[in-house]
């Protein structure tokens, strides 16, 4: 199934099922959404980087670094 750029409640808008689901169920045809047919911009580098390192681990490292700096200054 294709990805849609919608919020959860957008699936309940009038005409959504008729436009996207009926053709797929009845004919096996997938109708692409505007999100799929438009060109997509590249994901920013920092967002990609945050995707590699979960933020909870990044926070632990930053807190540990801050504690180390404070202890060094004492």
Spatial separation of the C-alpha atoms in residues 12 and 1, rounded to whole Å: 18
Tell me the average pLDDT across 51-60. 85
- Runs of H (alpha helix) within the chain: 16, 22-27, 34-37, 45-52, 55-73
Tell me the average pLDDT across 21-30. 93
Tell me the average pLDDT across 36-65. 85
Domain boundaries, the chain: 8-37, 41-74
Q: What is the pLDDT of residues 1-21, one digit of tens each?
A: 445 566 667 777 888 889 888
Its pTM stands at 0.41
Measured at the CA of 73, the angle between CA 71 and CA 74, to 5 degrees, comes to 65
Q: Which pair of tokens denotes residue 47? A: 């967002």
Tell me the average pLDDT across 47-61. 84
Task: Tell me what pLDDT residue 58 has.
Answer: 85
């Amino acid at each position: 199934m294709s990805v849609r750029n919608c919020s959860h409640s957008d699936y309940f808008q009038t005409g959504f099922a008729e436009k996207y689901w009926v053709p797929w169920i009845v004919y096996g045809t997938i109708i692409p959404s505007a999100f799929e047919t438009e060109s997509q911009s590249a994901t920013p580098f920092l967002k990609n980087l945050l995707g590699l390192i979960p933020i909870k681990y990044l926070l632990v490292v930053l807190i540990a670094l801050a504690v180390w700096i404070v202890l060094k200054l004492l």
